[in-house]
Structure 1
């Protein structure tokens, strides 16, 4: 009796010790205490101790010890208790042995609410969303009511699988079961709706009786991600001023992103000041990075750098953000300096860093660094990163390495719409429209607006009207020629560059929305097609409709005056540009100089060049306009060594300056100077680029270079002559019909 009493008191002491260690979270002591009971030869019969022991094994991930303890309990028949079976299944789930957990569940003779929740929660917690939702549906059939934690994970699984229909069903179940009054459940549903249906998310948010900082942050973030930053900022103001809810770092990150999207520095600085007052700007690296991004996109990269410089907890995102800021603000020299500093601080570049460096290479048009970065991409295994490869293609094409860009595209296992669009744009930019169209025809994905714009650019380079009509048809079939201003403007531009001014005007008139770029393109279209009066009429109509011309619009109008010989009108437009606070650029001054020179006002043009503002320096094209005017008006102007010297100094490797000077000297019969120009071309190894004309013969656009000779047989030559004669006859008949 005394021995039995002693063992009981000893067992109670051990059990008390185990329970106390569990309360304090000392899980090692829990397992050690249970093992001491076994070593003492005492049989623990308290079923409430075993769940604590298995919980400790799960916390410590001691799979082997837990298995041994389960084996001893199995022999003694304790697994018939639901609490013990549940703790064993939960232990296996915590240790990642899902099969053993499900096997334990299947062997349980008595299951309760906890049993089902352990399986569903464990599967979802380990990322097995589909299996977890299947078990959840099975538990509902058996009449099991889930707990709050399980429900939160079930909603998260619906979000991960984008199974929003199932999510709506679970929402209905929660309303019927009374779970929707719980804040964590409401916030989970709110997160789900914010990703698929913003109006439903806002409706649920408005119906919530209690909103915490998570609720506000979710809806603000959803507005920003849905490209409605103004509504996000309005809600933030309501959160702070009316609801008196203190924002956290997540809220501030979304609000700063809204300011970045709007490029609103004034609001951004106010938000920055607010975050300083609340002590949120120094404690969280995400807020610091968002501040860098906001200032960069607001074109205040100096403030962005100050934030970066004051950040003590920098990560790779911080470095990438400031690099992107310098690139976005076209301060690529400082971007390179930041990259060097990044290397000194032993921060390893990632794929985003390489993308930023490729943008720098594109800006400087440096082919060799592009190849170096390509090597780094291969070495670090970023070849599967579509963003990095698309940026590499873009950089290669900008550096005139179109073949290398094509090699990168061919190496991609999956050619997405971005990479194909970039390649099409690159071919178009490099004067290879047929290759660009070939890439488009090989695309597997549906083209987006950027793709169609690049395709239209290629068609305009080819000057093939039929191809432009084909691209126009694609834009219509894809529904991109309805409300997309950029696509519609590109259609107008393509027709204009093909010489189809009537089709360009019709496409312009059919545009439901027009902006300053659209008006500029159609004005320029009339100007380049020799219709200056109509171009200027559109310029005036644009202003009457309330559209403010920008610098490019003024340049298009001045170009129309220039080619139409409308000197007085051109000077009036230039004067109105200055009066409307539009600072003239070098291109505008060059256009005026060219206009005056063409009209024989050489002295006035020379005087204008000499009176240019200090920050505007005349380029080779400006001085070239003077030379060209002197050639046409020899009696009104004299060629001086000053003009020729300026041109050759500004563009020593450009053939056009030498050819123009030689032409003017020849017109003056100054043959010694002509010989000198030719000698300089040879000595400086200047590559002479020949002019060319394009004639559409059938479906082929033939290019004829100046000085070319054709190696054709008599029959082929006759066919070409007859084809050209037919084209000219048709054009003449069409012109006669219009006149009569």
Structure 2
């Protein structure tokens, strides 16, 4: 350069000025290049072109450059949405490169990113390094540990938050409330909510109602709800869900009516809880009314599954089939619900056909699906097929047999009379038999009159539930069938001494939107005289066509009704007659019973359905029975 200027014979002062000019031009070019780099990086981030944005970020880092904070926030959001863990970690590293210290809100976003990736160790490490921790950062960590069910850490962070002088907000409390592991911690948090003046906040009230409901404290949940005028649908949904989840369907439906009168429109969450309440009460007609509200959300999978479950559990199989075939999207829950629904309603063959269709559709069965399949095999007496699915479920579907699967198989073996095999399988259970399993075995012993295994099963059952009335009644009936009268009398005496009373048989029927209950030997129904008169006439009519009261079932009946003449006053018979008297001929007579239907009532229902040309549906303690044209969907195998 100096040689060039000497040849041009320029003065030294001109040479210095020229050098400054070249440097200025070079800096201007570098600034322009840097600006281009940052602009290109910014465009890629806004376009969410993650691979090219990461490469552009590397160029920035090599040049010692940093983009605007808002640009990095877009890139972090992109990583979260795409679960791009490695790219997210690289952004973290880049933000601290060349001695740079990111702003607090970017650090909070990085912490949130690690939380979303379920990398809680990395999240906590970065959180600890933050020079300033605001309420957002604290709440992010508390929410992370609440969601991960690490309750002690959620509470620990809340305590540290208070010590640091950071005031919790509504999101903090709604997060930490989910971590409550008992009523004591819940009530302490409730007090803290009052001290912060957040008791009227929608999110906090909703969380309080949810957690009180989780612990069965419905009175406290209602108190939180009633404390303020509720102006938000979120709180209404919480209180309706609270009662629906705690099997108080009546109150859940009352609250639903209140909500509608208050001018609120139901959304998916409201309708899901309402359907759950209807399902628990087996109110098919009411469920159909709720279905009308569901139509505008027909693309909502969770709501569609709840509707499907309601129809299956209310005995509306035709409606369930229609809903299932019209669903625009299905998942494993949809298929499993339909398979179990068909099996519980006595359509085991159709349930197993649907299972084969499910496999062809490419949806992988889960734990519950196989329970439904084994239940179908059990209630159809398909021993060989049941063994196949049970023995191959791990190999075919990667599912380890659980207590419910063993229970279905023990039921299947017991119904088939293979009680020794059932006992052997019961002892193979890796999860240990519970009261339901022992009760299943005991019920099989009752059918096949195996006294020795029955005594063994009853003892095991009473070790788990010493006051279980069903076990006493079952064992007493088995003793009587074996003519072991002294043993039976001893059990009855023991029941009296312990104050154990059997539940009376009770059946419900809905007529004109009112529930009518019939209890064995109860004459309180206002039309009981007319009902008994109609029943006697019907029995006479049935005896003409060959009906003979089946006294073989009397001693085996769970209600324990011992006298032959008492058969005609079983609660389901009274409910059937009331249905014949009160419902139009084209209406299905739908009855719900608290105990297992006895054999004589089962025979009675079949003959009534045939002679009166009616369809009768009875839901007992175990399953649904659909009676039509003299047959039952269970094919007399229940």
What is the TM-score when the length of structure 2 is the normalising length?
Answer: 0.68
Change (3 A) 1:374 1:631: closer
Point out the more displaced range, 642-651 or 464-473: 642-651
SS in structure 2 of the partner of residue 477 of structure 1: helix
Q: Name 2:620's counterpart in structure 1.
A: none
Residue 377 of structure 1 pairs with residue 299 of structure 2: no
Change (3 A) 1:245 1:539: farther
Whether the aligned pair in 2 keeps the contact of 1:291 and 1:307 (CA below 8 Å) is yes
Q: Name 2:527's counterpart in structure 1.
A: none
CA distance in 2, matches of 1:118, 1:359: 49
Q: Name 2:306's counterpart in structure 1.
A: 391
Q: Name 1:195's counterpart in structure 2.
A: 116
Gaps of 5+ in 1: 1-80, 86-107, 590-608, 611-619, 621-625, 664-676, 691-704, 709-740
Matches within 5 A, 1:18-57: none
Change (3 A) 1:152 1:474: farther
Q: Name 2:328's counterpart in structure 1.
A: 413
Q: Name 1:465's counterpart in structure 2.
A: 383
CA distance in 1, matches of 2:575, 2:304: 37
Whether the aligned pair in 2 keeps the contact of 1:332 and 1:363 (CA below 8 Å) is yes
Change (3 A) 1:629 1:401: closer
User: Cα offset for 1:188?
Assistant: 2.6
User: Cα offset for 1:681?
Assistant: 7.4
Q: Name 1:351's counterpart in structure 2.
A: 268
Matches within 5 A, 1:598-617: none
Change (3 A) 1:484 1:214: farther
Q: Name 1:7's counterpart in structure 2.
A: none
Q: Name 1:218's counterpart in structure 2.
A: 140
Of the candidates 453, 468, 475, which is equivalent to residue 534 of structure 1?
453
Q: Name 1:433's counterpart in structure 2.
A: 348
Change (3 A) 1:150 1:706: closer
Q: Name 2:255's counterpart in structure 1.
A: 338
Change (3 A) 1:499 1:222: farther
Whether the aligned pair in 2 keeps the contact of 1:489 and 1:518 (CA below 8 Å) is yes
SS in structure 2 of the partner of residue 445 of structure 1: coil
Whether the aligned pair in 2 keeps the contact of 1:523 and 1:535 (CA below 8 Å) is yes
CA distance in 2, matches of 1:179, 1:496: 72
Of the candidates 66, 82, 103, which is equivalent to residue 161 of structure 1?
82
CA distance in 2, matches of 1:541, 1:424: 32
CA distance in 1, matches of 2:629, 2:322: 33
SS in structure 2 of the partner of residue 388 of structure 1: helix
User: Cα offset for 1:483?
Assistant: 6.8
Aligned residues: 522
User: Cα offset for 1:240?
Assistant: 5.7
Change (3 A) 1:192 1:208: same
User: Cα offset for 1:276?
Assistant: 0.9
SS in structure 1 of the partner of residue 219 of structure 2: helix
Matches within 5 A, 1:551-566: 555-556=470-471, 558-565=473-480
Matches within 5 A, 1:667-678: none
User: Cα offset for 1:178?
Assistant: 5.3
User: Cα offset for 1:630?
Assistant: 12
Q: RMSD between aligned alpha carbons?
A: 4.7
Deviations 1:653-685 (A, max 9, x none): 599999969x9xxxxxxxxxxxxx99x979x95
Change (3 A) 1:337 1:659: closer
Q: Name 2:203's counterpart in structure 1.
A: 286
Matches within 5 A, 1:422-571: 422-443=337-358, 444-477=362-395, 482=400, 484-514=402-432, 515-541=434-460, 548-549=464-465, 555-556=470-471, 558-565=473-480
Residue 251 of structure 1 pairs with residue 172 of structure 2: yes
Larger radius of gyration: 1
CA distance in 2, matches of 1:453, 1:219: 38
User: Cα offset for 1:540?
Assistant: 4.0
Matches within 5 A, 1:72-83: none
Whether the aligned pair in 2 keeps the contact of 1:427 and 1:433 (CA below 8 Å) is yes
Change (3 A) 1:630 1:258: closer
Whether the aligned pair in 2 keeps the contact of 1:180 and 1:186 (CA below 8 Å) is no
Residue 171 of structure 1 pairs with residue 92 of structure 2: yes
Q: Name 2:193's counterpart in structure 1.
A: 275
Residue 230 of structure 1 pairs with residue 155 of structure 2: no
User: Cα offset for 1:423?
Assistant: 0.7
What is the TM-score when the length of structure 1 is the normalising length?
Answer: 0.60
Deviations 1:211-231 (A, max 9, x none): 5443443333233323x2534
Whether the aligned pair in 2 keeps the contact of 1:289 and 1:317 (CA below 8 Å) is yes
CA distance in 1, matches of 2:376, 2:199: 48
CA distance in 1, matches of 2:153, 2:496: 39
CA distance in 1, matches of 2:496, 2:73: 63
Deviations 1:532-552 (A, max 9, x none): 433433454577xxx73276x
CA distance in 1, matches of 2:38, 2:177: 43
User: Cα offset for 1:171?
Assistant: 3.4
Whether the aligned pair in 1 keeps the contact of 2:553 and 2:600 (CA below 8 Å) is no
Higher helix share: 1
CA distance in 2, matches of 1:192, 1:278: 29
Deviations 1:90-138 (A, max 9, x none): xxxxxxxxxxxxxxxxxx77616753564355x1xxxx53x25632432
